[in-house]
Amino acid sequence: MSVRRTKFVQILFTVGRLLRVFCFNVGANANMAGQSIGRFQIIREIGRGAAAVVYEALDTRIGRAVALKVLAVGTGLTGAARREAIERFYREARAAGRLSHPNIAQIYDVGEDKDRHYIAMELCQGVSLRDVLRFEGRIAEARLKFIALQILNALEAAHAAGIVHRDIKPENIILGQKDLVKLTDFGIAKALGESTMTQTGVMLGTPAYMSPEQVLGKGVDARSDLFSLGAVLYECLSGRKAFEGESITEVTHKVAYEDPQPLKHVASPWSEIVMKLLAKNPSDRYRCATDVISDVRADRAPFQPQRTAQPSQQQVNQTVYAPDPSLASGYSSRQSQVQRCTSCGVVLSSNFLVCPNCGRPLRHFHAAEPRPSAVDIPNNLPWSIVVTVLCCVPFGIVSIVKAVEAQSKKDFGDYAAARAAYMQSRQWMWVAVVVGIIGWSLWFFISVLEFLISGQ
């Protein structure tokens, strides 16, 4: 049903575009039909923005239909502003030209003809996600999963190449037959590590889909695109924008400081995934597109660690978590001691399986096995060295290595691992002693035997 609906939307908007071309494209724009820019012959105009005009054109050299994006530099732009607009235009070509992915519109050529700068790219047949949302209102979750995975695959490829799109929005997502996705318009994309050309106070992007760090003028990375994708998915599921306002100032304020309204009537785990994508702090979002793909494919809610304030060092030394009564059965009274988490240093009851402060699994012992302490782990290194010199070098070296490991674990506070390493060191030391005794005994017996034979 969704495929039929998509085809209907495509036909509807194609007819609308044709009517717009034949009825409203007058003057200079209408006269562009039939003209050529370089080796490309213009057929019709298919899109227009503030910075460029997109035409359907024919590559006369190989007979291929392309989308020809021509920079629209106004007469009011001169000097540095004009150079920056041209450089930003070619930045799109460099960014998208580095990418090769089935869900990213491919760049064929870039050039200039009579001071007209152009980019020839793949002609994406279909309608934008904005057109679909305008017609259908919202998208079913099963269909959205298929669309979202394609967008995430495109972002994964772009981020792996060091490219941040910075303008993920429904207008730049094209849906073709069977909802095949093409991600377009890398016009303000930024290569990681590349210095930005944006002047102070100039905001690039669409405010309703920008990340908080974009709005506040901070540095952006791949997680900024994930926030923008979260805003797109929110609109697809709810039928409304995540951040709405009567002015750009109100919208940007909501993006930076206010959380969107919770998603209603949306099955899990979509609500959890979208809200994690829309986290204000980049460190609270997904690390990369790959992690989002994993959760979306598995229909799994993202892991949300319990964020508790880290106690200061003075508090750590004095804080003791009470044992869980449900875990107390089966443990001897001697085990009702405290233990220190080797990850965050917090002091816990011995009955805890997991540290409640950092979530690190804790070691546990059988009730009949006493918990080791520092006193139970003497330094076996001197004896290991003596045995190595006097008895057997190979086994003695193993004993030395285990003794050093035991001391390292002991200094770190992991007494259980230190105790185990100490016992292994002792075992190898006694093996070396036994081998040494046997070796010395054989040497003594052979020496006595040679003495007796030579005396005769």
Q: How far apart are CA 272 and CA 212, in angstroms?
A: 19
Residue 332 token pair: 């001897």
Q: Which member of 59, 109, 131, 167 is catalytic?
A: 167
167 has catalytic annotation: yes
Q: Give the per-residue SS3 of the chain.
A: CHHHHHHHHHHHHHHHHHHHHHHHCCCHHHHCCCCEECCEEEEEEEEECCCEEEEEEEECCCCEEEEEEEECCCCCCCHHHHHHHHHHHHHHHHHHHCCCCCCECCEEEEEEECCEEEEEEECCCCEEHHHHHHHHCCCCHHHHHHHHHHHHHHHHHHHHCCEECCCCCHHHEEECHHHCEEECCCCCCEECCCCCCCCCCCCCCCHHHCCHHHHCCCCCCHHHHHHHHHHHHHHHHHCCCCCCCCCHHHHHHHHHHCCCCCCCCCCCCHHHHHHHHCCCCHHHCCCCHHHHHHHHHCCCCCCCCCCCCCCCHHHHHHCEECCCHHHCCCCCHHHCCEEECCCCCCEEECCCCECCCCCCECCCCCCCCCCCCHHHCCCCHHHHHHHHHHCCHHHHHHHHHHHHHHHHHHHHCCHHHHHHHHHHHHHHHHHHHHHHHHHHHHHHHHHHHHHHHHHC
Please list the active-site residues. Answer: 167
